[in-house]
Amino acid sequence: MKPENFAEKAIWYTLLWTYGYFLIGGLYVVGCVIGWVIFGYWLKVWYFQTEETPEDDRIRIPVAIWIWIVGMLVQQVALIMGHLDFDLGLGTIIKSSIGWANGWALLALFPLLGTLKILAELMYRIACIVGLQTVLVFPIFYLFYLLKLPAQPFVSPLRVVGGPGPEFFASTFYEIDPENMQPRWRMFTPWAPALGFMGNIYFFLAVREKDLKWRLIGMIGAVFMCSVSVSRLAQISIPIVAGVSLLLSSLGKPIALITLSFASGILGIVAPTVIDAYIQFNENFKAQRAGSSRVRAALGRIAIERWQNEAPIWGHGIVETGPHMVEFMPIGSHHSWYGLLFVKGIVGFFGLLIPMLWSFFDLVLKSQTSKTAQTGLNMLVILFLYTFGENLEILVYLTYPAFLMLGIAHCEPIQLKRLVQPHETKDCSPVR
């Protein structure tokens, strides 16, 4: 399997050289730039298509992707209004707008690029390859820990281009969890939970790989990422995403409706027990890393209180450093929704919520007959889960394969009736 057009080659080789870019601290720069470079190619293809262009080669933008584009433009409007409300100055507006182009804008740009002829199977295979690379290079990372070598021996000079922080340009080989003094690894990501995030994305890409050998390698590599990250969310997300997506993509099948009806009746009987079990699980989940849970909760409370009292409509425009009680972490960090409310107000909040809801209903409908749409639904569920643990816009330079798959999945046609045999699914990906 080889990439053929420019877009496929750009994505393929960028992901293939993940650890090469990691070593020079260039992943943030490459991840932000690659989307805009491919967008230039997208503009060329779109501009030169004519009535004579074959139907399958034409670029058509689904409504769902238009919703994402509008939603991310709303983020920029909210950003500017927040800056104006707090008189932050033109220089800060320009700097924040560059940040928007490297973050929120990419949440819409990569789904748009999914309208190009990018083979979904190519994404599945490269996810398996990155998983294999992670397993193969891990002994080097572990050796750094065993020999007590510097955990972060190198911070790239590329840091001068700006960005969220030095950790995005650093080659970090291990870290020590201050709560239990045990090692955890972030590999090519800026912090350990982000590696678990990527592990979830790569797992549900790898699971669609047709070659059994590569599929197993990719799934093992993805689970390995979740394990060495020691991230609580990463370790529970795979079964949650698998269960939710399987249920949602089977709503058109009678057996699923029968099962739901039966389960709802049983749930009504055992609801008190289930609620008690959930409460206990939640308490145990928080207790695993009590300090982290405390800081996250405090950051959320501060963000909500200041949003309500100071900037409910447009937000504060920029992030602010929190007090000592939250270890001086930015207010609204570790949580996309709190971060949006604090920085961009209720306008920014709905600027993300509406595209996610539209994508959800669109992909649930299409996933009844399309495996590509099922993968897109997997990506959306993962992204939604991680809105409660990460800021999506900060990590989009790594997580863009998920957003690209959203775009590819949204290109799938809605089949009100099955046009193929019962055990087949029609895929709108280009045939090679």
User: Do 341 and 348 form a contact (C-beta atoms < 8 A)?
Assistant: yes
Instruction: Compute the CA torsion angle 78, 84, 89, 92 (nearest 10 deg).
Output: -10
Residue-level pLDDT at 65: 96
Domain contains 390: no
Domain contains 338: no
pTM for the predicted model, two decimal places: 0.88
Residue-level pLDDT at 420: 46
User: Do 339 and 390 form a contact (C-beta atoms < 8 A)?
Assistant: no
Domain contains 60: yes
Range of the domain at 361: 6-69+114-249+289-293+348-384+395-410
Q: How far apart, in whole angstroms, are the C-alpha atoms of residue 193 and residue 187? A: 11
**Which CA distances in Å does 22 have to 71, 157, 164, 299?**
31, 13, 16, 30
Q: How far apart, in whole angstroms, are the C-alpha atoms of residue 34 and residue 20? A: 16
Residue-level pLDDT at 161: 81
Domain contains 76: no
Q: How far apart, in whole angstroms, are the C-alpha atoms of residue 397 and residue 31? A: 4
Name, in order, each residue with C-beta under 8 angstroms of 8's C-beta and a sequence gap of 6 or more. Answer: 117, 118, 119, 122
Can you give the pLDDT of all 432 residues of the chain as single tens digits? 788 889 999 999 999 999 999 999 999 999 999 999 999 999 999 988 888 878 777 889 999 999 999 999 999 999 999 999 888 889 899 998 999 999 999 999 999 999 998 999 999 999 999 999 999 999 999 999 999 999 888 888 888 887 788 889 988 999 988 777 889 999 999 999 999 999 999 999 999 999 999 999 999 999 999 999 998 888 889 999 999 888 888 887 766 666 656 556 665 565 565 455 545 545 555 555 556 677 778 888 888 888 888 889 998 888 888 777 777 777 877 788 988 999 999 999 999 999 999 999 999 999 989 999 999 999 999 999 999 888 999 999 999 999 999 999 999 888 765 544 444 444 555 544
Domain contains 178: yes
Residue-level pLDDT at 256: 63
Residue-level pLDDT at 211: 93
**Which CA distances in Å does 60 have to 42, 125, 407, 430?**
11, 26, 11, 14
Q: Which two tokens stand for residue 35?
A: 């989307």
Number of independent structural domains in the chain = 1
Residue-level pLDDT at 276: 53
**Vertex 364, ends 363 and 366: CA angle to 5°?**
60
Domain contains 109: no
Name, in order, each residue with C-beta under 8 angstroms of 12's C-beta and a sequence gap of 6 or more. Answer: 3, 122, 126
Q: How far apart, in whole angstroms, are the C-alpha atoms of residue 14 and residue 20? A: 10
Domain contains 423: no
The full DSSP string for 301-321 is HHHHHHHHHH-TTT--SS--B
Domain contains 155: yes
Q: Which two tokens stand for residue 182?
A: 């045990």
Element (H, E) at 171: strand 170-171
